[in-house]
Amino acid sequence: MKSKRTAVRLVLLLWLPFGGAMAADAPPGASAPPGASSCSGCHPTSQSVDTPVKRLVGRKPEDIVAAVAAFRSGEKPATIMDRIAKGFTDDEIKAIADWYGAQKD
């Protein structure tokens, strides 16, 4: 199972064209947790980007965790987020959500 999770992360990092975009937006001294930078391939970091995909920057961490849980369980329909959500542990999801929640525009 761990090798499958590692493979999913590797694919995401290679597949998503803007994988490292969020790292530069981190508050001083706060580095992105593993997996967080892969989110910016679909979730825009700038308000100026016109997309139906919700921004994660500044969202409440509990909202992000709840959304990922809903994707993981199949409660919320998805094209890819259901598979991505299954690739992270609860602790990893919480760390990513906390990090994005701390980001400011």
Q: Which CATH number fits domain 2-102: 1.10.760.10, 1.20.1440.230, 3.50.50.60, 3.20.20.70?
A: 1.10.760.10
Q: What would the two tokens of residue 33 be?
A: 């947790």
- Residue 1: the pLDDT is 54
Mean of the per-residue pLDDT values of the chain:
79
> What is the pTM (predicted TM-score) of this model?
0.70
Which residues, 6 or more positions from 58, have their beta carbon under 8 angstroms from its beta carbon?
A: 100, 101, 103, 104, 105
- pLDDT confidence of residue 5: 55
Residues of the chain with pLDDT under 50: 7-8, 10-29
State residue 66's pLDDT score.
98
Q: Which long-range contacts (CB under 8 A, 24 or more apart) does 83-87 make?
A: 83/8, 84/8, 84/12, 86/8, 87/4, 87/5, 87/8, 87/9, 87/12
